[in-house]
Amino acid sequence: MNKILVIDDEEHMCWALEKGLRQEGYQVITATRGKQGLELLRNETPSLVILDLKMPEMDGLEVLIKAKDLLPNLPVIMITAHGTIDTAIEAMKLGATDYITKPFDLDELKLVVKQAIMVSHLQEEVSFLRSELNKRYGRIVGNSQAIQDVCTLIERVADSNATVLITGESGTGKEVSALSIHQLSSRREKPFVPINCAALPESLLESELFGHEKGAFTGAVARKLGRFELANHGTLFLDEVTEMPLSMQVKLLRVLQERQFERVGGTESIKVDVRVIAATNRDPLESIRNGTFREDLYYRLNVLPIHLPPLRERKEDISLLVMHFLEKFNPSHNQFISPDAMGLLLSYEWPGNIRELQNVVERAVILSQGHEIKSHHLPKEIQRTPTSKTEEQQELIINFPDQGISFEDVEKELILKAMEKSNGNQTKAAQLLGITRSALLYRAQKYQLKL
């Protein structure tokens, strides 16, 4: 049941609104002073607030500001007998959802309340769904110049309708990049439909892409919509497109050129408005030379090319990715990775790229019994990774005085030297020290160092 908080200094107005809104099935609580209303707001967490503008001690605009600080997404409807355009604009700027002047029609207020709650629920649902999408597909993580260049390119091409061809080794994040393009485009509210062209035989792939009519083949007991129809007005992601059979490549090329197709077993031409993003872990030009990929299809897809670098070429992002996956697989945030384990992760070549790193972190989270992930929680092939030291590290000499030394002073000096060496880049400084960025920030805060 939706709970509504009414804040109005006129008791008869509170009574009338409570009676009228309860008839609509709402739970209603009331307050005749701003401070009282804010206290109820903290304790009751209502779905909506109806707020009078003119009140003693604390006026409605002040209450609105404090309410929005407590619950930024809370819908607030302002009511006043002193309504002017200026106060209406001021209230809306401060976050009010709507504005009604006294005297008002109760039915009108009920309608405004119903719409405001409906919009609020829809916004919560959209926020939840976007959160679930991010959990499912992940997001682009990294500060390296290589990945920042990719992000910049994605932002530039996102709102175009032109086809995109994403290349890169397996596990570099091609589907995540395709989803990012979709979410940044004007098609974001429409479907994002992926299909792996290498996972299906030719007979099934045609039906999956274009759909089929009832009776088109044995087992076709009903009409089925294909991925192109399901992605209408949205985005179709063709993963591993170079693995598609040549005969299907011809049909795909025709659809890309004419933006229409027929279902398997059908004669009706179906027009679609679909943005196509394709991806491959192979070199398309090599596939063309081998005769397994059509050159004309390549040029039709390669309007906006994006290449994703392998993880071994952006090792400065490994620490950030590890932290990202730790948060994903351990939402309680009570685990961290030891410097030795992080050193092994930084030294490994990652033939499986980000997907392999994600699996390694998930495995380590499960195997580690305490808060610290150590080297022995990592796979054997990573434990065998040589962690050769640089010449500077091999030549590190500490003059240990007879009177002893302050460990804290040494640690502070190392942090400052690492920051100087990395030109102020905290992530690189943490890598130089063999610790995570969060550990670096913790130590800097501990010693009151300004990084």
Q: Which contacts (CB < 8 Å, 24+ apart) does range 362-369 have? A: 362/325, 362/329, 364/337, 365/326, 365/329, 365/330, 365/335, 368/335
Alpha-carbon span 343 to 338, nearest angstrom: 9
> Mean pLDDT score of the chain, rounded to an integer?
87
Q: Which residues contact 314 (CB under 8 A, 6 or more apart)?
A: 142, 144, 146, 147
* pLDDT given at position 255: 95
Decide which of 1.10.150.20, 3.40.50.1110, 1.10.8.60, 1.10.3720.10 is the CATH code for 313-388: 1.10.8.60
The mean per-residue pLDDT over the stretch 224-253 comes to 95
pLDDT 10s digits, 388-403: 444 344 445 566 666 7
* pLDDT given at position 133: 53
Alpha-carbon span 372 to 385, nearest angstrom: 20
* pLDDT given at position 399: 63
In whole angstroms, what separates CA 81 from the centre of its chain?
Answer: 44
pLDDT 10s digits, 152-178: 999 999 989 999 999 999 999 999 999
pLDDT 10s digits, 45-56: 899 999 998 888
pLDDT 10s digits, 332-350: 767 889 988 999 999 999 9
* pLDDT given at position 392: 41
pLDDT 10s digits, 76-117: 999 877 666 677 778 888 889 988 888 888 888 899 999 899
* pLDDT given at position 252: 96
pTM of the model: 0.58
In total, the chain counts a number of residues equal to 451
* pLDDT given at position 423: 86
CATH superfamily placement of domain 145-309: P-loop containing nucleotide triphosphate hydrolases (3.40.50.300)
pLDDT 10s digits, 255-302: 999 999 999 999 889 999 999 999 999 999 999 999 999 999 999 999
Alpha-carbon span 328 to 323, nearest angstrom: 9
Q: Model confidence at 424, in pLDDT bands (50, 70, 90)?
A: confident
* pLDDT given at position 389: 44
* pLDDT given at position 388: 42
Of 122 and 187, the one with more pLDDT? 187
* pLDDT given at position 443: 80
The mean per-residue pLDDT over the stretch 373-379 comes to 92
* pLDDT given at position 181: 95
According to the 3-state scheme, what is the secondary structure of 346-414?
HHCCCCCHHHHHHHHHHHHHHHCCCCEECHHHCCHHHHCCCCCCCHHHHCCCCCCCCCCCCHHHHHHHH
* pLDDT given at position 89: 78
Asked if residues 133 and 179 have their Cβ atoms less than 8 Å apart, the reply is yes
Decide which of 3.30.390.10, 3.20.20.210, 3.40.50.2300, 3.90.1150.10 is the CATH code for 3-129: 3.40.50.2300
Beta strands across the sheet bearing 48-52: 27-31, 3-7, 48-52, 76-80, 98-101
Looking at the predicted structure, is the pLDDT value of residue 229 above 90?
yes
The mean per-residue pLDDT over the stretch 4-10 comes to 94
Topology of the domain covering 395-451:
Arc Repressor Mutant, subunit A (1.10.10)
* pLDDT given at position 447: 81
Q: Where in the chain is the domain with CATH 3.40.50.2300?
A: 3-129
Q: Model confidence at 406, in pLDDT bands (50, 70, 90)?
A: confident
* pLDDT given at position 105: 86
* pLDDT given at position 398: 60
In three-state secondary structure terms, 105 is: coil
Looking at the predicted structure, is the pLDDT value of residue 238 above 60?
yes
Q: Model confidence at 413, in pLDDT bands (50, 70, 90)?
A: confident
Q: Where in the chain is the domain with CATH 1.10.10.60?
A: 395-451
* pLDDT given at position 386: 65
The mean per-residue pLDDT over the stretch 305-319 comes to 93
Q: Model confidence at 241, in pLDDT bands (50, 70, 90)?
A: very high
* pLDDT given at position 80: 79
Looking at the predicted structure, is the pLDDT value of residue 352 above 60?
yes
The mean per-residue pLDDT over the stretch 60-76 comes to 91
Q: Where in the chain is the domain with CATH 3.40.50.300?
A: 145-309
Q: Model confidence at 440, in pLDDT bands (50, 70, 90)?
A: confident
For residue 335, give the nearest of 370, 297, 306 by alpha carbon: 370
> Which DSSP state fits 169?
-
* pLDDT given at position 131: 55
